[in-house]
Chain A
């Protein structure tokens, strides 16, 4: 198996970098690239306590499969890819997304990792609601999946 994708319900379990490293391990790998995205304590001058991630589960899995398969087609058909993203409330410091790639060479490993991250941000139906130290909360703006030419504000 060369592809692992999961939407992790954070009340049930957490994203594990050890699990990711084990999954991509192979003697064929000349490079292993791991990206870990975390919830940080500040955004746009506001002090953040945590982020609630909402997701359209089925569409997220479908998009993850498509993104990872495109990455393999584009950069390295033999790459091993591990992709997990959380759903639910994640406090500051928690891993929100982990992408691990095992490939024959460093260039492909870096490119696949970056490609997957950007595509997930722009194509996977996931939303973030930030929670602040003053008790307020806010859904963050994002990228519309409606064709740009149709949007007339």
Chain B
């Protein structure tokens, strides 16, 4: 299945676009998404400061709430990656 990962903050380094399409096995959850993300970062962005992003990021569902690692993703689902925040 494929999901759309909407990018914010430092995760925008992962693509020139606002979102990244990611292939995952059916019925994957957030924990598996973290693993795939970690691989993408080590392959293509090892020189960036994204090393810990797959562990420190939270994820928002379309209800704009943090979902936990057991959250099951659906095919074509759009989910937001929320790197560590710090406005003001």
Contacts and interface: CB of A to CB of B under 8 A. Distances in A.
A127 to B, nearest CB: 3
Contact of B57 (A124, A128, A144): A144
A44 interface: no
B11 to A, nearest CB: 9
Contact of B58 (A126, A128, A144, A152): A144
Interface of A: 37, 53-56, 58-59, 62, 85, 96-97, 117, 120-129, 138-146, 150-153
B64 A62 contact: yes
Contacts of A150: 69
15 contacts: A53-B87, A56-B80, A59-B80, A59-B82, A124-B85, A125-B85, A126-B85, A127-B8, A127-B9, A127-B83, A127-B85, A127-B87, A139-B13, A144-B57, A145-B84
Interface of B: 8-10, 12-13, 49, 52, 55-58, 60, 64, 66, 69, 80, 82-88
Given A127-B9, A153-B55, A142 B64 contact: no
B58 A96 contact: no
A97 B66 contact: no
B87 A153 contact: no
B86 to A, nearest CB: 3
Contacts of B83: 127, 139, 142
B85 A146 contact: no
B86 A142 contact: yes
